[in-house]
Amino acid sequence: MSEIGRRFTARRVNRKEGQRRAQESHSCCSALLVASFGKVTIVQGMASLKRLETEFPILDPDFQSFCALRGIFTVQDFLIRDLQSLVADAEQQPSSERFMQAINQVLYVIDGLHQPWLNGVDLMEDAQKNKHVLSTGCEGMDFLLRGGLRRGQVTELAGPSSSGKTQFCLLTASTVAYKHMGGVIYIDTGNSFSAKRIARFLNQISCPASEEMQPRVLQEVMNSILCHSVYDIFSMFDVLHCLESKLKYQMCRGDNDERLIIIDSISSLITPILGSSGSQGRALMVSAMSLLKKLAHEYNLAVLVTNHTVGGDGGIPKPALGESWKTLPHVRLLLSRDCGSNTYQVSLLKHPSIASGKAAKFIIND
Amino acid sequence: MEVGRLPISAALKGKLVSAGYTSLSLLSSLSPSHLARDLNISENEALDILKHAPHDGRIDTSGGHHIISGAQTAWDMLHEEELLTRITTSSVDIDNILGGGISCREVTEIGGVPGIGKTQLGIQLAVNVQLPVHCGGLGGKAIYIDTEGSFMVERVLQIAEACWDDMLANNAISQNVHAGQVGMQPKDFLENILYFRVCSYTEQIALINYLDKFISEHRDVKIVVVDSITFHFRQDFEDMALRTRLLSGMALKLMKLAKKFCLAVVLLNQVTTKYAEGSFQLTLALGDSWSHACTNRIILYWNGNERYAYIDKSPSLRSASAPYAVTARGIRNNVSNCKRIKLM
């Protein structure tokens, strides 16, 4: 960007001096070329009115200088400004009709930027067609969750150490890969992904009579489970963004087969940044969950995250990550294991459509 | 991608947002000097920020499975796991429950009451890792991080000599002498143990941060033993929240080390009492949040007069316990005449 562009940016920051500086750069405005704003896209909402002129000739330089006098240079400024006063001002101008048309044009562009409104019928159709339930491979858990993990929802599994969270994640990954023929993305923060265990689970699921699964079938199923090791939250953001682009591309081609994202465990990524001075840690946590929820909803994925527990009142373990975390996942489960055995107990802490407090037991065999 | 998700300081994020850059695509065509002028920061800082701007080549849409760089399929990992060798503990019973020994690419925590043999086990592993692969080691060096001062060089020499005797005996029986390995003297074992002594928690954290660079220069390190990991965090820490953050950050770094350099990380931990379910129980130190920092956990305990090792947490091994003994030659299988010393 040139000297002109630099003044332009400075102007966005100092809106109070908008009028004075607008006079200064008024003459520069008309000299600006479209090319210098080439990279700014309409989708970001930061499109300048200058850029829109090429597509909508009604936004001519007169209208642009009318807006510039009021400190409006981009679509975003338009959104922030008081529309009533702008309309009132426009009516007092000599070419008020053209200005009104231009204002309407910009509003039309803005309308095209947000997601389409959905009504209840659309949502119901979407739920029935896309948001199915994935069985977890574990009867007690499926019974508790009325079928299993629902696509489009984020499920949290909390439990004390060695209570079976990783085992449950591996079992769910194997079941989804085998029964639902879907892709599984396993994001592992503690080097606990064990391919041998997955192979054992797959043998159990497919051939209960303890035969070996055919290597070719085993290879195909295991090739649909992808494992990532991440060790800090920013790497996790990178992985999720790459995944988002990949899913977008697959959606265009129509062959989307990813079904499940597992993050084991998300609490070990968030704990190092949570609670320090400033709310940056909490902001990152909320940002991560909103990204996961967006991926879950738009691409019809189920998301399973694990959390550890900390001591609560009276020594009863409660899930970690604090109060603000409690509102983020859709479904929350608390897991515990009977000492030294293979029997696990799970209770429902939060669910959008089932009463909380229900519990179930299940066994995971070796 | 939002600016809020960048790994930069909060002050820089604030400057970016107030200058109008709320999304990364706006940064993708800027030069560092321009950004530095806009934000009033140094050019180095601007370069740091722009490192994270998306480049066109980063997002590969060719539609293959390995688009997300760094991903591995479970099938490939299965083969890798089968090829992974383990470090023997010199006790056949413990090796059996561990599936062959301590495995690489994982962080193993070993905890127990004082006097049970944690340091002995740590020293035994530091010696065993130097054995050639056919004897149960990995032919590599060891890093020993001592926080308590319980590392006794004379004991290491004793264990090394016993190990060397065993190796000679095995070589004589199997007549499988590799050139150059019979020439290994007990003192050579000492040379391959790299020893660090830390005296405060800041030194410990600094050392673990430094290990990444150190190990990339000493690629033949195959095990890192930290004895004990919790000692400096147990006393004199007023700010518990800071302690939790430091410990979880340290745990992640150790995990990353283990995976990146394909080595074993062994953490030795102490015990403390916990009040749960109406009674006092022994549990590993540093609480619930630290207990998630390891991949495997082995608990050493007394059963009557004998020492036992119990697998408490593992993604792929069954829970089992095995007896062992601490002898003059190091950790060995349990022989019934090893008695516990009763304190009067």
Segments making up each domain of chain A, as ranges: 40-116, 124-362
Cβ within 8 Å, pair A271-B259: no
Question: Count of CB atoms within 10 A of residue B214's CB?
Answer: 13
Give the pLDDT confidence score for residue B55 in this predicted structure.
Answer: 52
Where b means 16+ CB within 10 Å and e means fewer, A74-91 reads bbbbbeeeeeeebeeebe
Provide the chain B residues 44-103 that lie in CB contact (below 8 A) with chain A.
Answer: 59, 61, 63, 65, 67-75, 77-78, 80-82
Contact B97, B322 (CB under 8 A): yes
DSSP letter, residue B23: B
**Chain A residues close to B14, C-beta within 8 Å:** none
A310 close contact with B: CB closer than 8 A: yes
Residues B42 and B85 in one domain: no
Ranges A167-171, B43-47, B173-177, most confident: A167-171
Cis status of the peptide bond prior to B321, with omega within 30 of 0? no
Question: Count of CB atoms within 10 A of residue B124's CB?
Answer: 26
Using the Cα atoms of residue B200, residue B202, residue B204 and residue B206 in order, give the sign of their dihedral.
Answer: negative
Residues B106 and B165 in one domain: yes
Identify the residue with better confidence: A78 or B326: B326
Provide the chain B residues 121-180 that lie in CB contact (below 8 A) with chain A.
Answer: none
Give the pLDDT confidence score for residue B341 in this predicted structure.
Answer: 59
Name which of B5, B81, B253 is nearest A287 (Cβ-Cβ). Answer: B5
Residues B40 and B90 in one domain: no
Give the pLDDT confidence score for residue A45 in this predicted structure.
Answer: 44
Residues B301 and B265 in one domain: yes
Domain termination site, one of B18, B37, B52: B52
Report which secondary-structure segment, H or E, holds B120. Answer: helix B118-128
pLDDT band, residue B119 (cuts 50/70/90): very high
pLDDT band, residue B277 (cuts 50/70/90): low
The reply to whether B277 falls in a domain is: yes
A145 close contact with B: CB closer than 8 A: no
Give the pLDDT confidence score for residue B31 in this predicted structure.
Answer: 77
Percentage of chain B modeled with pLDDT above 90: 29
SS (H, E, C) chain A: CCHHHHHHHHHHHCHHHHHHHHHHHHHHHCCCCHHHHCCCCHHHCCCEHHHHHCCCCCCCHHHHHHHHHCCCCEHHHHHHCCHHHHHHHHHCCCCHHHHHHHHHHHHHHHHCCCCCCCCHHHHHHHHHHCCCEECCCCHHHHHHCCCCEECCCEEEEECCCCCCHHHHHHHHHHHHHHHCCCEEEEEECCCCCCHHHHHHHHHHHHCCCCCCCCHHHHHHHHHCEEEEECCCHHHHHHHHHHHHHHHHHHHHHCCCCEEEEEEECHHHHHCCCCCCCCCHHHHHHHHHHHHHHHHHHHCCCEEEEEECEEECHHHCEEECCHHHHHCCCCEEEEEEECCCCCEEEEEEEECCCCCCCCEEEEECCC
The reply to whether B64 falls in a domain is: no
As a whole number, mean pLDDT of residues B233-248 equals 84
Identify the residue with better confidence: A23 or B216: B216
Give the pLDDT confidence score for residue A176 in this predicted structure.
Answer: 92
By residue range, what is the domain housing residue B31? Answer: 2-52
Give the pLDDT confidence score for residue A48 in this predicted structure.
Answer: 67
Structural tokens at position B266: 């062994």
Count of A-B CB contacts under 8 Å = 193
pLDDT band, residue B339 (cuts 50/70/90): low
**Chain A residues close to B259, C-beta within 8 Å:** 191, 229, 231
CA B125-B128-B130 angle, to 5 degrees, is 120
Structural tokens at position A119: 């009504």
As a whole number, mean pLDDT of residues B301-309 equals 88
| Low-confidence stretches of chain A (pLDDT beneath 50) | 1-45
Give the pLDDT confidence score for residue A30 in this predicted structure.
Answer: 32
The reply to whether B344 falls in a domain is: no
A193 close contact with B: CB closer than 8 A: yes
B335, pLDDT greater than 80: no
The reply to whether B146 falls in a domain is: yes
The reply to whether B224 falls in a domain is: yes
Min Cα–Cα distance to chain B from A92, Å? 31
Give the pLDDT confidence score for residue A33 in this predicted structure.
Answer: 25
B106 close contact with A: CB closer than 8 A: yes
pLDDT band, residue B63 (cuts 50/70/90): very low
B221, pLDDT greater than 90: yes
Give the pLDDT confidence score for residue B344 in this predicted structure.
Answer: 47
Could you tell me the CATH number of the domain that includes residue B23?
Answer: 1.10.150
CA dihedral A362, B74, A302, A255 (to 10 degrees): -140
Residues B238 and B156 in one domain: yes
Residue from B3, B5, B62, B242 whose CB has the most chain A CBs within 10 Å, to mutate: B5
> Could you tell me the CA-to-CA distances from B214 to A287, B140, B178, B209, B217 in Å, in that order?
35, 15, 30, 9, 5
Per-residue pLDDT reduced to its tens digit, A59-73 = 777 777 888 888 777
Residue from B6, B28, B75, B314 whose CB has the most chain A CBs within 10 Å, to mutate: B75
Q: How many residues does chain A have?
A: 366
Residues B303 and B246 in one domain: yes
* SS3 of residue B222 by DSSP: strand
Report the distance separating Cα B8 and Cα B1, nearest Å. 14
Residues B22 and B85 in one domain: no
A170 close contact with B: CB closer than 8 A: yes
Contact B327, B319 (CB under 8 A): no
Q: Which fold has domain A124-362?
A: Rossmann fold (3.40.50)
As a whole number, mean pLDDT of residues B33-49 equals 79
Residues B87 and B171 in one domain: yes
Residues B43 and B132 in one domain: no
Give the pLDDT confidence score for residue B342 in this predicted structure.
Answer: 54
Residue from A2, A12, A226, A294 whose CB has the most chain B CBs within 10 Å, to mutate: A226
- Provide the whole-model pTM: 0.80
Residues B232 and B153 in one domain: yes
Residue with tokens 């609490």: A267
The reply to whether B57 falls in a domain is: no
The reply to whether B104 falls in a domain is: yes
Report the distance separating Cα B125 and Cα B90, nearest Å. 8
Could you tell me the CATH number of the domain that includes residue B311?
Answer: 3.40.50.300
**Chain B residues close to A189, C-beta within 8 Å:** 252, 255
Min Cα–Cα distance to chain B from A41, Å? 9
Give the pLDDT confidence score for residue A35 in this predicted structure.
Answer: 26
Identify the residue with better confidence: B214 or B50: B214
Give the pLDDT confidence score for residue B263 in this predicted structure.
Answer: 92
Residues B22 and B137 in one domain: no
As a whole number, mean pLDDT of residues B8-19 equals 77
Domain count, chain B: 2
Per-residue pLDDT reduced to its tens digit, B76-85 = 888 888 888 8
Give the pLDDT confidence score for residue B183 in this predicted structure.
Answer: 53
**Chain B residues close to A229, C-beta within 8 Å:** 70, 255-256, 259
Residues B209 and B84 in one domain: yes
